[in-house]
Each structure stands twice: as C-alpha cells, then as structure tokens.
Amino acid sequence: MKISLRKLDGINQWLLVLMGFAIPLSTAATNVVLGMVLLFWILDNISDRFQRWVSVLKTNPVAFMGLVIFLVHAAGILYTGGGKERVSESLMDGARFLFISLAMIYFKDKQYHSRLLFAFSLAMGITLVLSCLLWMDRLPGFIPVNGGPQDCNIFLNHIAQNLFMAYMAFLAALRARDAKGYGQRILWAGLSLLALANVLFMVGGMTGHLVAGVLFLYFFLSWNRTKSLIAAGSVLLILAGFAWMNPSNSIFLRSQRMMEEIKAWEYGKKASNLSSSGLRLEFYTNTVKIIKENPVWGTGTGGFENAYQQLTEKTGMNPTDNPHNEYLMMTAQFGFLGLAAFLGFFLVQWRSAGFLGSPGQTQAARGFVLTIVFAAMVSSPLQDNAEGWFFALMSAHFFAGWTFTRGRDFFL
C-alpha cells in the first residue's frame, strides 16, 4: 500500500510539471492534465482523509489565504443575482485559489521546483522561436498560429503570450545575473533580451508591455546600484537600436493607438467597439457605479454581468461580463470586504517570498507576484484559463515550502 501511495505521489508531481509545460501551449492540453491531477490527487489523499492537505492549510499562510478567497466566492452564492452559468464560472475562479493548497502537497520536494520552471521555460522557448520566425515571415505554413507578422502570438492570444514571455524574460535575467561562468551569463542574458524584444516589439499585448517594464524596474532596483546602472543602460541602448531599425513595431503602434483612443473617449457616452482603451474606460466608470450601489457585500458570485446589464440597459452602452480589472471585479462582486481579502492574499505572498531559501528565489517569487498584481490592473488574468492556471500553479510552486512555524516574525 505504501508503494502504491508513493507512486501516486510521484505521478501527481510529474503531472504538475507537465501542466507547467502545457499552460503556455494549449488550453485543451491544460484542461486534460488538470483533470488527471485532480483525479490522482483524490486517489492519493483519500487514504489519509486529506490530512496532508489540512496540514498545509493550517501552516502555510498563502494556502490559508487562498482558502479565504475561495470561501468568499462560495459565500457570495447565497445572495447573488447572477445566472447559473456566471455563478459557475465565478466559483471556478475562486477554486483556482483553492487549487494552490492542493498542489502545494507535491512541491515539498525541491527537485520538482526546478523541473517545473524548466518545463515552463521550454514551452516559452518554443513559443519564442516560432514567434521570431513569424515576425521575420519565415514560419512554415503548416504550423497553425493565432497571430501574424504584425502581432506574433503563436499558441495563445497576445495578452497571455506577452504576459508569460515578460515573466520568462525576467527569469532569464535572474539566471544571467546569478550565473558563475561568462558563457552561461551571456547565454541567459541573450535569451532575456530576445524575450524582452519579443514582448515589446513583436507582440501587441499592452498588458505584457506594462508587466515587462515593472519587472525590469524591480530587477534593477534589487541589484547592486553600479551594476544596475550599467546593465540598464546597455539594455536600453540595445532596445533603442532595435526600435530604430524597426519603426513599425508593436509597442509604438499600440501606444499611439491607445493615446488616440483615450483622447476620443467621452465620459458617459458609448465607446466604439473598435476602441480597446475606450471600452475599458467605459467599463471602469460603470463598474465604479455598481460598487457605489453595493459597497459592502457586492452583487454576489457571478452577479456582475446582470448588475452591469441593469445599469446600462437604458444608456445603450456596450454590454460586458468583465470590467477587465480584477480589483474592480472583486469589489463589484464581493464589496470592499472581498477586495480587502484579495489584497491581503497578495500581501501575504509578497511577505512570504522574503522567507524563501535564497535572494534569487525571493526575487523570482516577488517578480511573479508583481506580474499578476499589475496584469490584474488592466486585464483579467485570474479569470482567463491560461493565465488563471499559471497563477495557481506558480503560487503553489513558489510558496509550498514556507509555513508559519518557520518564522515567527512573519507579521512584523
């Protein structure tokens, strides 16, 4: 029996590694692997009556806060005005927070940390090569892609690919900084620069542009001041040269379009369906009105769409089931109490990262937190399939090894 349980434990560890590879490449493959993870998780944990899971929830602050967010979603069902489909979707968003504690059981073994990052990096390396080939118009025609030479996303939409690639560029920069030999340092630095150029100049997702800027600002601020200035200057010169040789790049074109859309938007009037920035501003302002009407408890789990429809049905404004801002979405559904729990979750993650084994691990974990925190300001990464499971899996991976018992100064 012990051998059987050990095998189940190993199967789930490898399935989670496989999930890290699947998330950047295929939604369908991610869902298949996820189903297998849940099946083997039940088979593995039912024998001890889920004691390992309960132990994680009791001792790990990130796991506990994930449970709190899930319970907020569950409680919101009691007073929601949403339909069954929206309630189910919103409850699944909350379930991703619960998944963090489920997966943490299998990341106690440190070797699977590096394996997961390798699997994710390999998937992003494949994406990077294909994206560069598409940008050069050299991609073989038999390879199906989602984008084109002006917006070179491959397997996922440009928001998801750019978000993942920005974080990949950050991880590669950390590896370059910590590498002992010049050969490895040059290799990782080159990979980081290429990934960063892909984010900024080849793919049009502005969320990734924002996240890349935040991550590399954090990267340079967390390093030696002199070395940071030299490295930052070198990176800026290289990127400036790349931009000068390619004036019709995605970041310039998208930034120009964004400014035009913001100038054209008028408060209280319907935005054009072709104006991404105008639509977001319309969604934001209307969502604030919903929050003012339900400041404490919100509209309930999955209740946003119905509340938004009631607010805008007489105005002729654009309908939506998502304001494209996770903080507004949480507040609209669960009030300021829900927002407080949401912000508390990220605060606990940031604080927990300071107790990891090395400065490199701390910076990688905090870079991940910054990725989600800033992406959530302008998009909906926790509601979308790829970004949502990336968030849940990486949260389990980074914070599985820290517990309340390892440091009494956690809340100081």
The more confidently predicted of residues 258 and 303 is 303
Residue 106: name the closest of 192, 185, 5, 205 by CA.
Answer: 5
Please report the sign of the dihedral spanned by the C-alpha atoms of residue 17, residue 20, residue 21, residue 26: positive
Task: Please report the pLDDT score of residue 262 as a whole number.
Answer: 85
Q: What percent of the chain shows pLDDT beyond 70?
A: 89
Of 86-95, 146-155, 318-327, 396-405, the one with minimum mean pLDDT is: 396-405
Work out the average pLDDT over 127-145.
91
Structure tokens at 25: 């490449």
- Of the candidates 260, 278, 257, which has an alpha carbon nearest to the alpha carbon of residue 206? 257
- DSSP string of 236-304, one letter each residue: HHHHHHHHHH-TT-HHHHHHHHHHHHHHH--TTSPPPTT-HHHHHHHHHHHHHHHHHHSTTT-S-TT-H
Q: Which two tokens stand for residue 109?
A: 């073994």
List, for residues 257-270, the tens digit of each pLDDT value.
888 888 888 888 88
Is residue 111 over pLDDT 80? no
Binned at pLDDT 50, 70 and 90, residue 225 comes out as low
Contact 109, 331 (CB under 8 A): no
What single-letter DSSP state applies at residue 404?
G
Which amino acid makes up residue 75? Answer: A
What pLDDT is stored for residue 405 in this prediction? 44
Least Cα distance to 70 among 408, 395, 350 occurs for 395
What pLDDT band is residue 2 in, cutting at 50, 70 and 90? very low
Q: Which two tokens stand for residue 369?
A: 């937190």
pLDDT band at 227 (very low <50, low <70, confident <90, very high): low
For the whole model, what pTM was predicted? 0.91
Q: Please give the helix or strand (H or E) that residue 70 lies within, else none.
A: helix 61-76
The mean-pLDDT minimum among 272-276, 323-327, 363-367 falls in 272-276
Q: How far apart are CA 246 and CA 252, in angstroms?
A: 10
Q: What is the pLDDT of residue 404?
A: 47
Residues 181-199, mean pLDDT to the nearest whole number = 91
Q: What pLDDT, on the 0 to 100 scale, is given for residue 159? A: 94
pLDDT band at 248 (very low <50, low <70, confident <90, very high): low
Burial class (CB in 10 A: 0-12, 13-18, 19+), 273: exposed
Burial 214-237 (b: 16+ CB within 10 A, else e): bbbebbbeebeeeeeeebbeebee
Residue of higher predicted confidence among 235 and 182: 182
pLDDT the model gives residue 49: 83
Average pLDDT of the chain to the nearest whole number:
89
How far apart are the C-alpha atoms of 15 and 38, rounded to whole Å?
Answer: 10
Query: Are 321 and 308 a contacting pair, CB within 8 Å?
Result: yes
pLDDT of 110 above 90:
no
Please say whether the beta carbons of 287 and 280 come within 8 A.
no
pLDDT at 410: 39
Tell me which DSSP letter residue 105 carries.
G
411 pLDDT more than 60:
no
Summarize pLDDT for 382-399 with one digit per residue, the tens: 999 999 999 999 999 999
Say how far apart CA 24 and CA 120 lie, in whole Å.
Answer: 7
Mean pLDDT of 39-48: 90
- Local confidence band at 407 (pLDDT 50, 70, 90 cut-offs): very low
Asked whether 120 and 83 are in contact (CB, 8 A), the reply is no
pLDDT value of residue 266: 85
Q: Could you tell me how far CA 38 lies from the centroid of its own chain?
A: 21
pLDDT band at 182 (very low <50, low <70, confident <90, very high): confident
CA separation for the pair 301, 1 (Å, rounded): 42
**What are the distances in angstroms from CA 182 to CA 117, 222, 389?**
22, 21, 35
CB 387 within 8 A of CB 163: yes
End-to-end CA distance of the chain: 44
In this prediction, residues 181-209 reach a mean pLDDT of: 90
Lowest mean pLDDT among 235-249, 252-266, 288-302, 344-358: 235-249
Whose tokens are 């030696």? That residue is: 224
Which residue carries 């709190």 as its tokens? Answer: 68
Question: Which pLDDT score is estimated for 3?
Answer: 45
pLDDT bucket at 144, cuts 50 / 70 / 90 = confident
Q: How many CB atoms lie within 10 A of CB 78?
A: 9
pLDDT for the residue 220: 85
